[in-house]
Structure 1
Amino acid sequence: MEHNESTNIIQLSTNNSKMPNKSKYRYLSQPYNSTCISFEILDITLNDAGYYAGGIDKEKALSLGHGVVLQVSGHPTKPEIIGNLNVSVGSYSELTCSSKSTSAPDYYAKLETLDYTWFVNGTKKDKENNQKLSLHVTKDLRYNKYSCTAMGKKLMSESSDTVQINPLYEPNQLSIHPEPSLNYGKLTVKDGKTIGPYDCLADCNPPCEIIWKYKDTAGTFHDATVSGHTLSVLTVSRNISLLRCIAKYMGKTDDKKKHNIPLDVQYLDNPVLFVSDKFEEPNHTVKIKEGKEFQIFCNVNGNPEPKITLRKDASDSEIKQSTSGDWLNHTMKSLQCSDIGTYKCTGISPEFNDTEEMFRINVTCDTRKDTSLKMKTLYGSKSGQDVKVTVAVPVIANPPPQKSALRWFGPIANSSIMSMVFQQDVPYKHWINSSIPIINQNYFGNYTLKYNMTEVITITINAEDVPQVPRNFTGYSYASGFINLTWVSGFDGGKVQHFILSIKDRIGWQELANLSDPGQGRVVHYESGRLNPGQEYWYQLKSCNKINCSKESANITITAKAEPRLSVLLDKTFVIGASSAVVILILTIVFVLIILKRKTALNRQDNQQDGAEIADQPDVVLYAAVDKSAFQKNQNKADVVAEAVPEKKDENDTLYAVVEKKTTTEANPSAIKKESEQKNKSKKERQEGATAAEATGASATSRNVNQDGLIYIDVDFAKKPENPDKNEKPKIHGEEDRTEYTFVDFSKRAPVVKEKPKKEEEK
């Protein structure tokens, strides 16, 4: 500070280039020329801080060292953090917080010492008050923000700008997003499908360069299409085995910077066919002779290993299935016509539609009978101009049999037999339908069907017609009252036949005998037995079998030979004896009826007294069942018996030998059954008794005679059910139709009874 009287009291000078503002200072010394200088600084600022010295001139003021220092308290300058921020992980980083005091000039900086405070992410870091901060660098430091402040004696600086450590490190491993779903360490994908996009992420600083490659089945790597670190959508084929993500760090690569994605590319190819070691085009037809060996090879490539099946005609049943590998082998030792058809080789793999190829086997086989089907070989037929037997022969043949090569051989040579061929449900099975005419009996016999003169089958056509009318039906009376009939057995229609001989009476034809057939062309005999001498008899003969009887019948009329006078007298005697028997029978019946009527009246009175009502009871019926079916075992051994004089018969012309009277109090099923069995047995006996002997001449009869040769009757009165109507009169009914009768007529005489052998009598 200088004194200049002429101008100013105070003259200011400074080392700064800019002159201080003189108006800030006010001189206070008195007198003005006093050597003790006093002045005042107005509006103190940080710029006013400094060293103040006085003297005559600037040089003397500074040299004397008699000055003072003005210290102005102020905030330290904003700190700046200095240090290496890019540090490898595992190293140390040192940061320096730099600030200046504003309370004194720089040349007096020692007058104020600054203190420093460090902050991490805005939080004060304890025990770090030094200007320098030392850090052990890890990956996590990249997330921290560091700042600091400077503190003077009184005032603190503002916070410094934040800084971050940039930890430098190589990638430890790579990651793929989205993460592939691996199965047994591989990514499963179908051939022709797409995968991606995939992001390959590498944890490295500075960031790595990402490269995608794929490896083929030959082991060669190829660049894949990428966008930055993302693998674009990739269409997968079966020749890709691996995807690889590569991360380049600082231009370098090593095994730690690779990530592999193994691929399991699945596929299923169409089958490839080989028939007998030759490649076979799909849907092709293989022709082969019956009996030959045939081999089928089917190859189906696929991943995973497919299942291969062989089927025929889309049937549910498998012919064969592969057990291992992608090949199926099948050998058919001896082909048959049944092997004709379409065969299908199928490849089956999960998640894929089945693949298949088909081929056809056409087996040629000769025409032969189909034994799998039942066929009728025995036929029965009638004969006639319009009669034909239809024969259906099932055959196996491929190609189908030709109608022109079919021929039937039978009893009649060069017979015109029409045949037609019809296919069945499969191509190798056919029906040969033929119509064989049976014009007359000469056409019956064996017929053989031949194809190209090779026998197919033989059938037999037997006669099955109504029999012929018996031939040479004749008769004569060889003794008094005896007639002998003979005839010749004709064609029997192919069935067992019998002969029905009938006799005519005033009502009509009545069956007399049922005779068996001794054989075609044989003579049949029938002997009538004892008849009325001098009486004319009409006979009718028919041939019958299970089909029907002959359309016509043979008829003859014969007059029985007359008897001597003595025989007539004997017959009258026997007639008187028979009449006496009838009178005794009638008296017995009347006596029994009177007793029954009385008993019935008493029962009615008892019922009226008790007040009981009897309902649904059958009528009280007395009936006579005359059994004319068989002789008694001990017949009269006389050769001649008395002849009964014909009299007027009832409308059923029935003789009665057994009179039964049955009464039942309640419906008894067992009794009804027993009665029915008795009736059937009686009827059967009558029929058997009416059957005449064959050629032996012995005749059968239905009358019962006593030891004297007279007709006799057995009267059996069995108890019948009670009838509510106690006043109803008893009735006599016939055995079959239960027709009410008022009299019983015995008009015929007993037949001749021949003596039986003793052994037969003992039986």
Structure 2
Amino acid sequence: MVRKIKAQKAQTVNISWTIEPFPHGGQYLIHQTYRGKNLIFIMRKDNVSYGENVSKEKFIYLSQPNNSVNIMFTIRDITLDDAGYYNGGVTADSAWSGGGVVLIVTDRPSKPTITGPFDVEVNKHITLPCSSKSTSAPDYYSRLVSLSYTWFVNETKMDGETRETLKFNVTRGDKYNKYSCTATEEDLKSERSEPVQITPLYLDKPALYKNNSRNLEPMWTVKENKPLHVACFVDGNPTPTVRLIKGHSEIANNTNNSKWTNYTAKLCEDTGDYTCEGSSNWFSSHNQTVKIDITCKLRIDKSVPLQTNYSSTSGNNVKVAFAIPVIANPPPQASDITWMGPTDHPLTSTVSQRNVVYKHWINTFVPINNHSNFGHYVMKYKNEIIHNITINAQDRPQQPLNFMAYSYASGYVNLTWTSGFNGGSEQFFILRMSDDTGWKIIANLTDPGREETVHFEHGPLTPGQVIVYRLESCNVINCSIQSVEMKVNVKDISKASLTGKSEVFYTAIGVSAGVSILIVILVVVLVIFFRRRNEKKNILNNEITQDGAEMYAVVDKSKTSNNKMKDKTGTSGATKDDYGSNRNSTSGMYAAVDKSLPKENKLEATISTTYSTDKKEDESHHGTETYAVVDKNITKKGGESTTKTKLIKTKKSKEKNRGTKGSLEEKNASPVGSRKTNDEGLIYIDVDFTNKPESSDTNQKPVIHGEEDRTEYTFVDFSKKAPPTPETHDKEGK
């Protein structure tokens, strides 16, 4: 009979059985049978030996004497490999003859594992199995062992759960729970399984938010440029894909495991249906839709190609069609659309909707009856300018105008014509002539511009020849419908103009002569300038001034004439002036200098050509006057006189003038001939104004230079008036 011995791993166990009698051969073999047959002991009457690879410290034979029928031995620190069937006999085969002991080694069950699925929809049941098995040996024993189980949730033991499987209803809160278990065999408890976490699956319906507030209305209406914040929220586990769709196009989605997506609508183009959609791998998608209506004023839609320039021919029933893309919400009214442009009658428009409610076409037809309808057109909506369009001509050019041809020299023909309307494109002119072979092109000329004259010279030709010319204008479209022709008889006379080489030769001579003349003029001007500047310095050095002040004389010629001035006193003969000059009508005039208006370092005086005829007038002057004596004896070439002026200071008293008459005559002694003087012995100024000034400004007063460039000339004021000169020559003639 086989006996069972059960022991836990790592314990020490004694195994024994009896035999009758001990073999006569004096030898007994003990074997272990488990996963093969192993020889443990060889017992003889006088000794005990061990099988190969058997540890003497682990297996210890206890029976005494060695040939005793009570077989007993000890196994220390047993392992699962030590389990099996132990028996003995004379041979190896006799170890299965019956009897012996079966050693069962028990150990902790294997570490359990919990298998899924762990992703379960909310409100559905889940079954969690705790998988473990016995590790006891031999195998045929462990298969018969039953294990018990313990379940834990978040490290807490679940009461009453001892089954191998755990079943429960899933809630959203289970996503925060972790489940584990252990297995037990005869008080030997396994390690705890790895915890598992349940994923409760769910997907809520989407929610739409308007400016951060939940809004369930089916339509939201706002004005353009007033921001509208649209938000879409979808709750679910796992985190769903959240999309915001406008029409059929996605405009926003969630990122970084967020359950939100948003969009800001503020333009008219944002008008449309918005759908908030949530989806995941476990559920079909859920969505919610809202209609957003953004009102806006009419404007051009720049998202599509926009034509601003059109080309057209002109004539009856010729029209240009406009299709202008616009954006407006609500749709524009055709009655509010007006046009301005070079049209013969008012234009009307129609409105049609495009693919969305806020996009439209404004359709207009413009009749182009003639060239006057080409130009710039302006579209207005409610009197506000919306769009500009230009219609350009695209037609055949007009035939040349005023075509003329004439022979002006032997063998040469001059042709002229006027450029007409070019049809809207750059035009050119083709000139042909007829010969024996037909028409041939003799010139291709560019257009100088509308209504400009074109010139062309044809030659040399055979004198007496009769030529027919044909002229037409052309552009990229075609040539003019009609051409113009002209017949010319080539003259047989000498050509009036020089040949090309002669013209170049004489032109070069003319240019050279002109340049030479300019150089001579420039040299003369520079010489005159420097001479005048030197003369001015000399005069300034010799000029008599009062207290260092400079004075200028202004001469009035309003009372002068081309006749010789007459002496009011009627006396004849020559009178000596202060410088010894004779007083006659041809010698000079005197000018009174007014020093009452002094300037800084300069005394400006007005010299009036006054002719004193009464001594009482002389007495009426108070103070001292300075007179200017003008010497006209120095005459330039061509009759131009150079006038020198000297300043004489004298007292205006009647008595002194009489008392000093003799001395004045001596002082006025001069090598100059007889001059006209007044009773006070002052010499009149003769000013020659016959030479025209170089300036072409007829409104400018004649000026004797000196006020600014400081030459020897004086500034002449013609607003002053002087008495007539003495009639000396008239009396001499009597």
- How high is the TM-score relative to the length of structure 1? 0.43
- How high is the TM-score relative to the length of structure 2? 0.45
